[in-house]
Structure 1
């Protein structure tokens, strides 16, 4: 299986990039992992709602252009479905059994995802009603993907 994470914005902090590299290395035992970083649009706090919507549309177009054809798309959205680690593992396993060979997870920018990206997703996933820094969330997501593969392999990481 191939797992791709598409995220808006560049991670600059070394401790985040080191964590992502570590989990990517661990994941390589279970799947092919790739990531795509989409440049974020400038969005001042003074922007109007319509200007923010334009930012999301521009970022969304870049995201959509990077989604691999035929991939099962999971958009990370606060209004999505909350799953436990075990439920995420079951979802990934079920998709594999059904013949899905690639899953793409999408992390939006600080203003969220455009309606077009959300409507094109096969599944909307929420980790919490809380807001997380995007850089930290990418680490959390890749760790949970790794945890899901460990659960599915019956290995002892998940405790």
Structure 2
């Protein structure tokens, strides 16, 4: 299985990089795991609705350039479907069983993702209604992917 996480922006926080690196190392036993960063679009603090949409379009184009047709794509979105860790684990297992072994997760920038990215998505996933920094979501998502594999092998990691 190949799992890719496409994210907008660079990760600067050392503690987040360390956590992600630890889970990525653990994931190497189960899949090929990679994180692909695309540049965020520089924008002033106060934007009109049209300017915000333009930023999302530019970032969305960069995201979509990193995704191949055969990849099953999840977009992380507050309005997406919430899943338990067990449901997520089952979903990943079923995707692999039915030939969807190239799975991509997209974490947009601070303004979200474009309509083009949303329409390309096979599924939307939500980690709840909290707003979390997208840098932190990289760590949370990576841990949950690892947890999914551990659930599927019956490991006591998930309790």
Report the TM-score range of the alignment, normalised by the length of the smaller protein: over 0.9
The TM-score normalised by the length of structure 1 is 0.98
Query: Where does 1:108-147 land on structure 2 (aligned, <5 Å)?
Result: 108-147=108-147
Query: Where does 1:3-82 land on structure 2 (aligned, <5 Å)?
Result: 3-82=3-82
Q: CA deviation at 1:43?
A: 2.3
Name the counterpart of 1:157: 157
Mapped to 1, the partners of 2:68 and 2:22 lie a distance apart of 24
Q: CA RMSD in A?
A: 0.7
Q: CA deviation at 1:42?
A: 1.4
When the two structures are aligned, how many residues end up with a matched partner?
159
Q: Structure 1 stretches (4+) deviating beyond 3 angstroms?
A: none
Mapped to 2, the partners of 1:110 and 1:82 lie a distance apart of 20
Q: CA deviation at 1:46?
A: 1.3
Q: Which runs of 5+ in 1 are unaligned?
A: none
- SS of alignment partner, residue 105 of structure 1: strand
The TM-score normalised by the length of structure 2 is 0.98
Q: CA deviation at 1:134?
A: 1.1
- SS of alignment partner, residue 66 of structure 1: coil
